[in-house]
Amino acid sequence: MTKSELIDSVAKSANISKRAAGEAVDATFVGISKAIKKSKRFQIPGFGTFTVRSRKARKGRNPQTGDVINIKASRTVGFKPAPNIKKGL
């Protein structure tokens, strides 16, 4: 599903304009981003949990040349689905 498809779905189900739905979707993602940055975790009951995860430094390979490269340690966002979502997959 693309962002525009999500906006269409929200607009249709909430019976609002696409513009209002787009603003609501954008505001939702901004709110989730701020919550993850602030508390390192964001949970939506019945949907899942977003958490900040750390990746260790590691060796990788450049796919074009085959050379070994060093990949720095980094942080990323992980998602763990709620049991009812996972069961439906």
- Extents of the domains making up the chain: 1-38, 40-89
- Cα separation, 82 vs 48, in Å, equals 4
- Quick count: other Cβ atoms within 10 Å of Cβ 73? 9
- Cα separation, 28 vs 31, in Å, equals 5
Q: Which helix (H) or strand (E) holds 4?
A: helix 3-14
pLDDT per residue, tens digit, the chain (89 aa), is 999 999 999 999 999 999 999 999 999 999 999 999 999 999 999 999 999 999 999 999 999 999 999 999 999 999 999 999 989 88
User: In what side-by-side order are the strands of the sheet with 41-44?
Assistant: 41-44, 48-55, 74-81
Fold adopted by 40-89: HU Protein; Chain A (4.10.520)
